[in-house]
Amino acid sequence: MTDIAAGEAALRIIAAINRHQADAIRDLVAEDCVLFDAAGAPIKGRGAIEKGWLDYFELMPDYAFRCDNVMESGDTALLAGVGSGTLASYGRRLKDEDHWEVPTAWKVVVEAGLVRELHVYQDNKPITDILGKYNKAGE
């Protein structure tokens, strides 16, 4: 892949995420890419990142990030917008009350045209609240 601007690389990976194309996400990240999820936990390597997204799309089949702003400086882009999804686990069908939407930001570091680091910043409390509701109910 040729060198591309950090903002363009960031928007490409967000587009692949919004299309739920884990293989495209894999192809846009460096072999040793590190994704830091919203809890700050690192997911290291192209294959692990692809698997992580496959699992997340199963949990949140309508996950999307609406990018409202892109700021770029050198090899780094910051994206601000809104993340949203509907929790679909425990074999349940999607329910309106299981939908969440929160302000979300991404930091994307690019090297040689590939994403080297991905950092997700969002409040996961709405998601944990929904999970807690079902854990308490025994579903």
What pLDDT shows up at residue 48? Answer: 98
Residue 7 dihedral angles phi and psi, to the nearest 5°: -65, -40
Backbone Cα Rg of the chain = 15
Q: Could you tell me if residue 37 is inside a domain?
A: yes
What mean pLDDT do residues 6-16 have? 97
Q: Could you tell me if residue 58 is inside a domain?
A: yes
What pLDDT shows up at residue 1? Answer: 47
What pLDDT shows up at residue 97? Answer: 78
Q: Counting beta carbons within 10 angstroms of the beta carbon of residue 73, is it exposed (0 to 12), middle (13 to 18) or buried (19 or more)?
A: exposed
The answer to whether residue 2 scores a pLDDT higher than 80 is no
Q: Domain range spanning residue 77?
A: 6-137
* Residue 3 per-residue DSSP state: -
Q: Could you tell me if residue 1 is inside a domain?
A: no
**What CATH number did the domain enclosing 90 receive?**
3.10.450.50
More confident of the two residues 63 and 135: 63
Separation CA 29–CA 49 (nearest Å): 9
What pLDDT shows up at residue 137? Answer: 60
Q: Could you tell me if residue 113 is inside a domain?
A: yes
What pLDDT shows up at residue 29? Answer: 98
pLDDT tens for residues 63-119? 999 999 999 999 999 999 999 999 886 556 657 778 999 999 999 999 999 999 999
The answer to whether residue 8 scores a pLDDT higher than 60 is yes
What pLDDT shows up at residue 12? Answer: 97
- Which residues lie below 8 Å from residue 53, measured CB to CB, with a gap of 6+? 17, 20, 22, 25
Token code pair at residue 39? 């809890």
pLDDT tens for residues 35-47? 999 999 999 999 9
Q: What is the domain count for the chain?
A: 1
Decide: helix, strand or coil at residue 19: coil
Residue 96: Cβ within 10 Å count: 6
Residue 114: Cβ within 10 Å count: 19
Q: Could you tell me if residue 31 is inside a domain?
A: yes
pLDDT tens for residues 21-36? 999 999 999 999 999 9
